Amino acid sequence: MQPDPPGADPIESVEVGVELEVPTVRLVAGGDALGRTADGRVVLVEGALPGERVVAEVVEVRPRLLRARTVEVVAGAPERVEPTCPELARGCGGCDLPYAAAADQPSLKAEVVRDALRRIARLDDVEVDPGRPLPAVGYRTTVRAAVREGHAGFRARRSHEVVVVGGCEVAHPTAAELLVDGVFDGAEEVVVRVGARTGERMVVVHPTAAGVSVPADVRVVGTDELRRGRRAWIHEEVAGHRFRISAASFFQARPDGAEALVAAVRRSLDDPAADAEFVDLYGGVGLFSVALDVRAPVLVERSAAAVADARVNLSDRQPRLLKMAVRRWRPTPTDVLVADPARAGLGTEGVAAVAGSGAGRVALVSCDPASLARDVAALGTVGYRATRVELVDLFPQTHHVEAVTTLELVEPDRRQVAV
Ligand SMILES: C[S@@+](CC[C@H](N)C(=O)[O-])C[C@H]1O[C@@H](n2cnc3c(N)ncnc32)[C@H](O)[C@@H]1O
């Protein structure tokens, strides 16, 4: 591990607004760079990369931790670039890593994952492959935006203020157009969803779509209508398969990224045979079950909308669709299992479900490095060893990243141990 460099000049007392010169060491989960003051206090610096020296304004003071914001780069890292998005200068906080070259972002994120594995799971021998960069602009097919006075925008960094945008570099062009030209009177939030490969578009508006004005091709639905049982969906194509995606169902935020995730899961599970016993835990609308071409997957998912979509998407297979929370699932024995939980990770109940299935091989899909490390540590207590992590950088220009961890059952006797 790289040692921390000497800290900045000693400081008598620090308060909000003070400017410090800080050497930064590494990127941490959340996208800030970690540095230290000369008296050993940790400073998390927004807008800085590892190995830089920046002048940073303190924005929060805690007993053993400061948060600060870069105001000047004294010595920049080789990965530093000038951001291209004009909305940044207007205060948009939608992207938090635009000052790192897109090609370098996967390896910066891989370092965050390695660090989480070292610190949280106490593992420093797991290979972490940064994966291949995906296009860094025009990619997002699902975009959640806030609304101010009828117009869509994004929150300023660490603020509730909504910056109405005149464009969005990372949104798919058909989504960006809706964000900019759509009128959403009476709304607080809008989720724009588009099928990049089908051309279908939808806006999901909270709390009501009564004041919405968008082009005629766009499906419009309010969250009040969804609560009353209305259904609305679009379709997307991934890996040669067509998926129905309802307004309330989760789907990966870009089809090329979904394909890259499927490919990483396929590698992780060693290309499961069509007749393999296969469990798709937190299965959503069936992305992995469909795209991995397994004949009779068991899919566990608690969202009614997603299970209804999975029924359509898997209509040419013989799936067992279990609409329930993972904690209620009574695990059935299986050869292979993919688990793709929400940001909080598997937790105790997910780990128990994996262990109970006795799967010889598991692909864990994580969207948060700290959850990944916690889950890997917990799975270690029930006999699973992580052998490899492959990143899929679904969200360039932001600190977010997806990771597929391969786990093998090396101690079958331990898998019933309570967690
Ligand atoms: C990250 S998404 C993954 C979905 C799917 N694997 C995909 O790639 O499209 C997580 C899914 O887990 C579901 N979910 C979250 N918590 C759950 C729980 N405790 N039990 C069952 N499903 C859950 C969500 O509704 C969501 O569909």
Residue spans per domain, the chain:
1-79, 103-135+254-414, 142-236
pLDDT reported for residue 352? 97
Cβ of 302 closer than 6 Å to ligand 1, yes or no, is yes
Superfamily of domain 1-79: Nucleic acid-binding proteins (2.40.50.140)
Ligand 1 mean position, distance from CA 175 (Å): 24
| Burial class of residue 221, CB neighbours in 10 A (0-12, 13-18, 19+) | buried
Pick the atom of ligand 1 nearest to 285's CA: 9
Q: 103-135+254-414 sits in which CATH class?
A: alpha beta
Contacts of 206 (CB under 8 A, 6+ apart): 187, 188, 189, 190, 191, 222, 223
The CA radius of gyration of the chain, in Å to the nearest whole number, is 22
- Helix pair angle (369-380, 347-357), 10° resolution: 50
Cβ of 323 closer than 6 Å to ligand 1, yes or no, is no
| Burial class of residue 170, CB neighbours in 10 A (0-12, 13-18, 19+) | buried
Cβ of 329 closer than 6 Å to ligand 1, yes or no, is no
pLDDT one digit per residue (tens) for the chain, 419 residues: 444 444 444 445 789 999 999 999 999 988 899 999 877 889 999 999 999 999 999 999 988 899 999 999 999 999 999 999 999 988 999 999 999 999 999 999 999 999 999 999 999 999 999 999 999 999 999 999 999 999 999 999 878 999 999 999 999 999 999 999 999 999 999 999 999 999 999 999 999 999 999 999 999 999 999 999 999 999 999 999 999 999 999 999 999 999 999 999 999 999 999 999 999 999 999 999 999 999 999 999 999 999 999 999 999 999 999 999 999 999 999 999 999 999 999 999 999 999 999 999 999 999 999 999 999 999 999 999 999 999 999 999 999 999 999 999 998 776 654 43
pLDDT reported for residue 397? 96
Q: pTM of the prediction?
A: 0.94
pLDDT reported for residue 314? 98
Asked whether this chain's domains 1-79 and 103-135+254-414 adopt the same fold, the reply is no
pLDDT reported for residue 402? 98
Ligand 1 mean position, distance from CA 298 (Å): 14
Ligand 1 mean position, distance from CA 325 (Å): 9
Cα–Cα distance, 255 to 49 (Å, whole number): 29
